[in-house]
Amino acid sequence: NIAMGLGYAYVSSILSGEDRDGNVLRGALSTGFRSKDFSVFAGIGGRYSTLVRGEEDTEDNLGSDDIEFFTLDAGLMAEFSGVFSLGLVGRNLIDTKNLQEAPRTIGVGIGGQFKEFSVSADLNVDLQSEEEAVLAYAVGAQLLVQNMVVLRVGYNGGGLTKTNYMSAGPAYVSKLVGADLAFRQSIDGASETSFSLAVKVFMP
């Protein structure tokens, strides 16, 4: 079996104090094999981005701040006895020449599912943003209660900012709606706290 998808996003944001406006088009293909004791899945995705950074182009600027690139991501995941899973992913495999927007990275993750309790950990390696590889790591766990309420806790650190965070939050899921509430707190001494809320509606 083959699954495929297309997606489009309009980008309007500020990164490192600089305006970013543009378009991102994504497409992906995936396939896999599943059995009782072993399953394997593979996928590949492409991304075409056009972004304008800073002010609009002028005759003096001549579009030097514009970004246009195409790149590929690929992933592979194996599952053992429906309990343990192992994943490997490569991002921006085609060099975009833009380290801020799309540096080349590789990642590996491992997870375990034990009835209503699950735990996972992953490691991401940024190969291009700095002269030496930059490591980012995370671990998380969640507990499903009565097939409707999910309790989550997590930790992540490293990366370009070298900041460590703790996060936690509950979620509610039914056949019609879902809601996720979460907070994240820096544990490096700085007072940095963020909250997020996501609401989902499922079509019948």
Measure the CA–CA gap between 19 and 12, rounded to whole angstroms.
7
Least confident of 60-64, 122-126, 191-195: 60-64
Confidence grade of residue 62 (pLDDT, cut at 50, 70, 90): very low
User: 146-199: per-residue pLDDT in tens?
Assistant: 989 999 999 999 998 888 999 999 999 998 999 999 999 998 877 788 999 999
Q: What is the 3-state secondary structure (H, E, C) of the chain?
A: CEEEEEEEEEEEEEECCEEEEEEEEEEEEEEEEECCCEEEEEEEEEEEEEEEECCCCCCCCCCCCEEEEEEEEEEEEEEECCCEEEEEEEECCCCCCCCCCCCCEEEEEEEEEECCEEEEEEEEEECCCCCCCEEEEEEEEEEEECCCEEEEEEEEEECCCCCCEEEEEEEEECCCEEEEEEEEEECCCCCCEEEEEEEEECCC
Token pair belonging to 48: 């075409």
CA dihedral over 172, 174, 179, 185, signed as positive or negative:
positive
Mean pLDDT for the chain overall: 90
Predicted TM-score (pTM) of the model is 0.78
Contact status, residue 38 vs residue 78, Cβ threshold 8 Å: yes
| Percent residues over pLDDT 90 in the chain | 70
Residue 111 has which token pair? 């997870």
- Alpha carbons 2 and 44: distance in angstroms, whole number: 11
Q: pLDDT tens for residues 168-182?
A: 999 999 989 999 999
Alpha carbon 112 to its chain centroid, in Å, reads 19
Q: Specify the pLDDT at position 8.
A: 97
